[in-house]
Structure 1
Amino acid sequence: MADTLIAPISWRSAQRGLWVASADEHPVGIVTEKWTHGFVVTTRTGRSLGTYRSLDEAQSALEASL
């Protein structure tokens, strides 16, 4: 079951290699860079959405899941 997105997503880099997505100031997921393997996407409930070749692809995958 996907989360229902009400507000626009904003992204911030929490630290090198880690991006946090928020909507209405609540976290909705993260993207973690695995240096030689790509970008891993995880929802706020801990569900893995897979690994992507670029940050843009990973962020888009999370946004599409909401």
Structure 2
Amino acid sequence: MEFNIALIKGDGIGPEISLEAVKVLEETGKNFRHNFNIRPIDLSAELAEFSTSEMGDLIKKYLNL
């Protein structure tokens, strides 16, 4: 299976947690033949301006969805 994931560092957790999560996904992909397309995006400053309901639209814009 293939998965597209937007990785937003600094969204309330430390960057070290994000890096470890990517490692977990990489190992999971190897063990279960999954492909995780992880796209880091930096929206931390921009997200502060939006409500929770607007964040999804902003992320979709950055991912060209």
The question of a shared fold, defined as TM-score above 0.5 by the shorter chain, is answered with no
More strand by share: 1
TM-score by length of 2: 0.34
Return the structure number with greater relative CO, CA threshold 8 A, min gap 6.
2
Structure with greater helix percent? 2
Give the structure-1-normalised TM-score.
0.33
